[in-house]
Structure 1
Amino acid sequence: MKTRTLLICTAAIAHGEPAKLPSMPPVKALSPQEAVGSFQLPEGYRMELVLSEPEIKEPVVTVFDGNGRMFVAEMRTYMQDIDGNGQREPASRISLHTDTDGDGTYDKHSIFADKLMLPRMILPLGKGQIVVNETDSLDLYLHTDTNNDGVADKKELWWRGGPRGGNLEHQPSGLVWAIDNAIYTTYNNFRLRWTPEGIRKEETKANDGQWGLGHDNTGNLYYVNAGGEKGPLSFQAPVVYGMFNPQDQFEKGFTTLFPAAGVRDFQGGPGKAREPEGTLNGFSSGAGIDVYRGDQLPAEMLGDVFFGEPVGRLVRRAKVANEGGLKVLSNPYQNAGSEFLRSTDLCFRPVNMTNAPDGTLYITDMYRGIIQEAAWVNPGSYLRTIVEQYNFDKITGRGRVWRLAHTTTKKVKQPRMYEETTAQLAVHLASPNGWWRDTAQRLIVLRQDKSVVPLLERVARIHTAPLTRLHALWTLQGLNSVTPALVREKMADADPQVRAGAIRVSETLFRQGDASFRKDIEKLAADADPNVVLQACMTAKYLAWPDHQKFVTDTVLKSTAKGVKEIGAYLTLSPGESLAEYSDKERVVLKKGEEIYSTLCASCHGQNGLGTEVAGLKGHTLAPPLGGSRTITSNPKGGIYVLLKGMQGEIEGKKYEGLMIPMASNDDEWIASVLSYVRNNFGNRGSFINPAEVAQARKDTAGRNEPWTYQELQARLPQVIPNSHLKLTASENNDETNRAIDGSAESRYSTNKFMRPGMWFQIELDKEAPVSGLTLDTRTSANDYPRGYEVSVSKDGREWSQPVAKAPEEKNPITEITFQPTLAKYIKITQLGSADGNFWSIHELQVFEDKKQ
């Protein structure tokens, strides 16, 4: 699934005049049996069909419960035509599939939960229970089958998250219960934790993930980014400690793709095609990531990362090397110009990877012609032309689940965990299959059966397998039964994975009041293994103990390990220093805006706001730079209009690789927060946007259904009245008022008196005009902004209106004032507050008229 946007939030989709292409024979959908012949795999590997239409249609997620039953989320309304009509109809479902005789074939099928709105996440819990998330909501519902007939007959709210707006491809996925007993999703900057008292929400850092989420044996999460064309990311460490993406976490050439077939149906347009064959040359829509942790594929696969590239009709396999604590991903087939799994079937769309109870890897294939949501296939776009050329939009209502197997793969027993005692579940913590270990740990924690605590303590102490010791330790943490003595013992474990895990487990005790672990963690900063050293640093910063910054900095400086140096560079940053000049209320807005930007916008605009360079196209960026952007920094309506309606075409004469899709489905506060953040970062400084301004802009543009062109937007926005048309007077220092319009930010008008209520500054226009706002720029005298103001207008300079704008003190050197267009010739700004030690100054003044209202 393609997931990302441009200009504040962009997607890699070409724009401009679509090429006139000849009609082609329609793309043909292959039967599952025919599709098997389209797969290209290394010797010894094969794809086995598990499920297909008509049992399933439009599958996007596959998971297994404790008895090995398979649940499949089916987005049955996704892009059933080229315009995406009816997508949000509650006509999707989650189906249940059971292997009744243990022969590896799912022979019993039922609709577990029906009439859903594009279900996107599933988490199996107890017997007959799954937690489900639907599109446009963060709410999680528990669906329960109380009579064991394969159909849920009870639905109850499990956790209230509230509504979630935005394009349906820009919404969370995952719902992964990780080894630390926390539940993670993409996009969200929080995790959830099940407790006997209810669900607890815990803050994390941003993750930049989109569709798909996996994890390795020790709990590192692997996200994948589509729209930014980055592939895997945020996998260096759990996101609770930060989002770390060092530049050298990939081997050179990792982003180059080698598909077996292609028809140039790429969001990036012709520049993404490898000529002359027309195959995709780099990441476009990475999706559905997981780390292989099973026991029925060759041992060389263990720990390898797999993710789909549905636009490229392939599955990438990545080897993971650890270079001094830094994970580095590489494509083992790069030198051969190939991939692990490729298909010549143009409808093969691998959107998810899943470790299975049978020790293999399952691949969810949405199997369809078009794999982009309607916003990326709008009329006039390059992509729509290609879709229509091959009739991709006509192939819908199909879907397959495949099992990746090998000549060495053997059938294994089916799990029957729901019928087992808690002690029997604990035995599975020693399984060579990560799915069995994870599921057993989750069920033990859900049962809260403390009778196994002595057994788990023995396992954590003496079991020969490090991963089993680690799972036992985390299971005790989930039972709220881990002791300081055991944690300290495991901090000295022979295996570095266990030592690092023990540091993480100690955070639970630390937060319960046992600060004595600080000394133990500080000692581990000298550990021989850089992964342990990194964990000590991350935990110190996460717990924010006194002088933790000095401890982290000293540890990083002493280390010679590559990972400690590179990830440590992130840890030693001092965030928040630039926020000192903002009020507490403004900091809350900026924090929310930063979270939105980091998770949704940065992949195209870059973390530094300079735009993300298109892979293989030097000098071309997915999105325009935001620093100094006229749309962002001038009239506040500019950015609001773009987020509400989108933008297409050239921007100030330059083409970008993307089209800004509308974000109007997000609420007013969401739009105001991210715009306020962008207007006050990347060298920008502007007023904060408030939700009321967004609400008004919605009304003003309610009749528009197309994205703006840059020219249309600028014509629609209020225009600056030339300075030559202005005459200025003031209550104080009247002779120097023209310094506010002399074109130089270095000179200024100033009251030359400390600010007091009642001081005024007046503007006379050469003729009446529909004025709608003004800007007072005081950046060179940063503290000379008005301490509150009100603005009145007049047609004759004698009779004045009631205030058309009024605001309390705003600590911002740029005072941007907007109001409804009002026909006037005179404008008066009155200063409302006092400031001993500061004059009221104006370095540059702009007045806006709005002729389009």
Structure 2
Amino acid sequence: MSIFKKRFILPALSVLMAMGSSCKKELRDTGKIYEKPLIVRDPAVRSLTPEESMETMHLPEGYRVELVASEPMIHEPVAIAWGPNQELYVAEMLTYMQDIDGTNENEPWSRISVLEDLDGDGEMDKSTVFIDSLILPRILLPLDDRVIVGQTYDRSLYSYRDTDGDKRADEKILILKDTVRDNANLEHQSANMMWSIDNWLYVSRNSFRYRFTRGKMEIDTLRDAPVGQWGLTEDENGQLFYSSAGGEVPALGFQQHPTYGNLEMPGKWEEGFEKVWPIIGTPDVQGGNKRLREDGTLNHFTASCGQSIFLGDQLPAYGDLFIPEPVGRLVRRAKVEHINGKTVLRNPYGETEFLASTDANFRPVESKTGPDGCLYIVDMYRGIIQEGNWVRKGSFLRPVVERKGFDKHIGKGRIYRIVHESGKPSRPERLLGRTSEELLSYLGHPNAWYRKTAQRLLVLRKDIAVVGELKDMVQGEEAFYKSWFNDTDLALGRLHALWTLEGMDAIDETLVLSALADEDARVRRAALRISERFLEVSNKEVFAAVSQLKTDSDKEVLVQLLLSLRSSPIGEAKTMMQQVVSGNAENEALTVIGEEGIKDVPLEIETLKKKYILERPELRNSVVNGYGHFKTICAACHGPNGEGIKNTAPRLVGSSRVKGSIDVPLRIVLNGLTGPVDGIKYAGVMAGMKGNDDQWIADVLTYVRTELNDTNRITERDVKRVREEVKDREAYWTLEELTGGK
């Protein structure tokens, strides 16, 4: 018996035996939905107990909701994450909109707590403040016994650790230093850092990713990552899913990995997917009456956030995307379907939602797969959900908040889990104290929480003693160990073993060649991504093996082949890409992705640099920086090229207001804009951005005016002048005030 068989199979067998029959039971979803209650157009707003609130929640047949934690154990929860020893960390924004004006919102009074379930019944028994005195924590990522934390306005990142076992952090280490304060609105900053299967750490917005190496963060740039907001998730293969509340886009960025740039395709979801179906009237929607049906319910996603691909083993929903919508008091379940290489989302319940509540204070803001194999929902439970920039005097929302008394409902919060009658929440196991050899047996676990946690721990340890066994897992004798794992997905074990070796810097040519020939398409796709390091240096053996996949029967493998071939500098790579495209002329995804890869076009940012260094060198830095700001903030509403988005925001290209007197766009950016534009009433208002410094505003407007409209720049001095002129103004502008309506 080989070392692999001795050390891997037997521990894994014990894990499966400990899991009992739960992983063998077939989970079934009847698909039967609840009967909608009568809609109350203008509901009363009152605080309910957790038990009362749970009675207002409607779920499909077979599902039920259970309470995990609530006030006074937690307050204002916005994010959760489990450590490897089952401790549940909770980020609490204790200063978020505590009154209608957001008074003291930026004070360091928020915290991260750690919850413990002492008796294993699924309900938390103890809460301890892990880190106190934070400013609106927004990044929460457990590593091993360390936790990465990021705060609002602060671009630096720290790791925290409890060294004496009292559940309170007593070690704080700077792992990424950035002294530039982020002055963007708190809804427009990076959040929700995630350790992906490829061992890179991604955030919800900005074209950066990070690698945690030797106790520090290394930064890598992405070509043009999707612009998300609160929430980031991935499927079992590592494909990321973003969402954008500002752009009212429930899901984006899921057609290809952001390392290859952003790609959105028509037909990415079924017709009508963007419509939502609450069971409660929604008077407090920032978009105003345009976003309401005749019965008073929200008609479109607006605050989609905290999404997650469910990868647990105790609900019949594996691989589905769950999208909380706190304004609509609901959670959407989306089936993720792969059709000829294109990913398409659909709502399996038609004009109904997976979870919907008639409690006006129910505010689901995040969802997660738990170690017990169930789905968790974070409920911020409060009246006002919109940040103060959208509730200012002159907004649609302010009189609604005042009339309904939404501002009086603060300081609470709940965490729920969704269970199903055909499954049974498993009792979580602690992984931190496991040996590296023992962790290997979790890489094929039916619950992805264990697979991902075991991989992360192994990568952090870099224990070379298990490298040989990991390679055996990728290249092992499947026929022998299949009988031991008849209820486990062996390919997922090989997939995570492969990425674990990548994270341990133990990838070699032989391993890649083996994985490229794997019988499972998921492993072949991962091998293609990993092969790029060999393609970049024109490795002939790897290129030949990659070439064998050009006739692969799996369309998603072909998509990844086209993406990975972009890494090869040799001419044969583009020839092969053309062959794949030609051989699949009727396939939309392969045609679009292939033709993009074949193009000899520089990246947009490099094009801008070259253009302005040659033509107008004095503008180069301002335009390039402005481009980054525009793509991160403005493009979500005004479109990636400033052409506008129907019903969301007007076009900027060719706009007389943009091209005319600099005072008009400056006033709009500083204080915001409300009311009709060119006779069109858009959903909501444009929020002011005066929280950004003068150079930021000068750069973004310089990009809009010079690159998009071929007119003159705006300087930092211009911004300073206009800022002083309007310093006492808090209300939004209207075009009638600024231009006489023109």
TM bin, normalised by shorter chain, reads: 0.7 to 0.9
Q: Quote the residue 2:266 is aligned against.
A: 247
Measure the CA separation in 2 of the matches of 1:696 and 1:523: 63
Q: Quote the residue 1:823 is aligned against.
A: none
Q: 1:633 to 1:314 in 2, by over 3 A?
A: same
Q: Quote the residue 1:36 is aligned against.
A: 54
Correspondent of 2:521 among 485, 493, 496: 496
Q: 1:629 to 1:415 in 2, by over 3 A?
A: same
Measure the CA separation in 1 of the matches of 2:284 and 2:577: 48
Residue by residue, what CA displacement relative to the aligned partner does 1:204-226 show, whole Å, maximum 9, x if unpaired?
Answer: 12212111011100000111111
| Residue 319, structure 1, aligned to residue 335, structure 2 | yes
The amino acid of 1:525's aligned partner reads K
Q: Residues 487 and 502 of structure 1 are in contact (CA less than 8 Å); yes or no, is this contact kept in structure 2?
A: yes
| Residue 330, structure 1, aligned to residue 346, structure 2 | yes
Q: CA deviation at 1:466?
A: 1.2
Residue by residue, what CA displacement relative to the aligned partner does 1:601-640 show, whole Å, maximum 9, x if unpaired?
Answer: 2221122423212xxxxxxx21111011122212334333
Q: 1:542 to 1:598 in 2, by over 3 A?
A: farther
| Residue 104, structure 1, aligned to residue 130, structure 2 | no
Correspondent of 1:228 among 243, 247, 263: 247
| Residue 58, structure 1, aligned to residue 76, structure 2 | yes
Residue by residue, what CA displacement relative to the aligned partner does 1:187-243 show, whole Å, maximum 9, x if unpaired?
Answer: 111100112373210111221211101110000011111121121110112111111
| Residue 471, structure 1, aligned to residue 493, structure 2 | no
Q: CA deviation at 1:412?
A: 1.9
Measure the CA separation in 2 of the matches of 1:610 and 1:547: 37
Q: Residues 627 and 681 of structure 1 are in contact (CA less than 8 Å); yes or no, is this contact kept in structure 2?
A: no
Measure the CA separation in 2 of the matches of 1:238 and 1:662: 32
Q: Residues 317 and 339 of structure 1 are in contact (CA less than 8 Å); yes or no, is this contact kept in structure 2?
A: yes
| Residue 445, structure 1, aligned to residue 471, structure 2 | no
Q: 1:556 to 1:582 in 2, by over 3 A?
A: farther
| Residue 403, structure 1, aligned to residue 420, structure 2 | no
Q: CA deviation at 1:653?
A: 4.6
Tell me, what secondary structure is at the counterpart of 1:429?
coil
The range that moved more, 257-266 or 542-551, is: 542-551
* Structure with the higher fraction of residues in helix conformation: 2
Q: Quote the residue 2:668 is aligned against.
A: 642
| Residue 521, structure 1, aligned to residue 540, structure 2 | no
| Residue 595, structure 1, aligned to residue 611, structure 2 | no
Q: Quote the residue 1:632 is aligned against.
A: 658
Residue by residue, what CA displacement relative to the aligned partner does 1:738-786 show, whole Å, maximum 9, x if unpaired?
Answer: xxxxxxxxxxxxxxxxxxxxxxxxxxxxxxxxxxxxxxxxxxxxxxxxx
How do 1:604-619 and structure 2 match up within 5 A? Answer: 604-613=637-646
**Contiguous gaps of at least 5 residues in structure 1:** 1-22, 614-620, 718-853
The amino acid of 2:587's aligned partner reads A
Correspondent of 1:694 among 719, 728, 733: 719
Tell me, what secondary structure is at the counterpart of 1:87?
coil
Q: Residues 666 and 719 of structure 2 are in contact (CA less than 8 Å); yes or no, is this contact kept in structure 1?
A: yes
Q: Residues 670 and 689 of structure 2 are in contact (CA less than 8 Å); yes or no, is this contact kept in structure 1?
A: yes
The amino acid of 1:406's aligned partner reads H
Q: CA deviation at 1:551?
A: 5.0
Q: CA deviation at 1:700?
A: 4.1
Q: CA deviation at 1:468?
A: 1.0
Q: Residues 323 and 562 of structure 1 are in contact (CA less than 8 Å); yes or no, is this contact kept in structure 2?
A: no
| Residue 154, structure 1, aligned to residue 168, structure 2 | no
Q: Quote the residue 2:404 is aligned against.
A: 390
How do 1:234-633 and structure 2 match up within 5 A? Answer: 234-275=253-294, 277-298=295-316, 301-334=317-350, 337-462=351-476, 465-510=490-535, 517-542=542-567, 551-559=576-584, 560-568=586-594, 570-572=596-598, 574-575=601-602, 579=608, 581-583=611-613, 586=619, 589-613=622-646, 621-633=647-659
Q: Residues 50 and 106 of structure 1 are in contact (CA less than 8 Å); yes or no, is this contact kept in structure 2?
A: yes
Measure the CA separation in 1 of the matches of 2:292 and 2:88: 37
Correspondent of 2:699 among 673, 693, 704: 673
Q: Residues 287 and 685 of structure 2 are in contact (CA less than 8 Å); yes or no, is this contact kept in structure 1?
A: no
Measure the CA separation in 2 of the matches of 1:323 and 1:514: 32
Measure the CA separation in 1 of the matches of 2:628 and 2:637: 15
Q: Quote the residue 1:828 is aligned against.
A: none
Q: CA deviation at 1:546?
A: 5.7
Q: Quote the residue 1:838 is aligned against.
A: none
TM-score (norm 2): 0.87
Measure the CA separation in 2 of the matches of 1:542 and 1:693: 44
Tell me, what secondary structure is at the counterpart of 2:193?
strand
The amino acid of 1:447's aligned partner reads R
How do 1:58-97 and structure 2 match up within 5 A? Answer: 58-97=76-115
Measure the CA separation in 2 of the matches of 1:569 and 1:391: 55
* Structure with the higher fraction of residues in strand conformation: 1
The amino acid of 2:122's aligned partner reads G
Q: 1:550 to 1:40 in 2, by over 3 A?
A: same
Q: Quote the residue 1:800 is aligned against.
A: none
TM-score (norm 1): 0.76
Measure the CA separation in 2 of the matches of 1:389 and 1:257: 25
Tell me, what secondary structure is at the counterpart of 1:664?
coil
The amino acid of 2:152's aligned partner reads T
**Contiguous gaps of at least 5 residues in structure 2:** 1-40, 483-489
Q: Quote the residue 1:664 is aligned against.
A: 690
Measure the CA separation in 2 of the matches of 1:322 and 1:54: 44
Measure the CA separation in 2 of the matches of 1:685 and 1:219: 41
Q: 1:55 to 1:570 in 2, by over 3 A?
A: farther
Q: CA deviation at 1:330?
A: 0.1
Measure the CA separation in 2 of the matches of 1:608 and 1:661: 20
Measure the CA separation in 2 of the matches of 1:116 and 1:520: 51
Q: Residues 187 and 600 of structure 1 are in contact (CA less than 8 Å); yes or no, is this contact kept in structure 2?
A: no
* % identity of equivalent residues: 42
Q: Residues 530 and 561 of structure 1 are in contact (CA less than 8 Å); yes or no, is this contact kept in structure 2?
A: no
Measure the CA separation in 2 of the matches of 1:422 and 1:455: 10
Tell me, what secondary structure is at the counterpart of 1:418?
coil
Q: Residues 24 and 390 of structure 1 are in contact (CA less than 8 Å); yes or no, is this contact kept in structure 2?
A: no
Q: Residues 38 and 345 of structure 1 are in contact (CA less than 8 Å); yes or no, is this contact kept in structure 2?
A: yes
Q: 1:340 to 1:652 in 2, by over 3 A?
A: closer
Tell me, what secondary structure is at the counterpart of 1:405?
strand
How many residues are treated as equivalent by the alignment? 681
Measure the CA separation in 2 of the matches of 1:506 and 1:80: 51
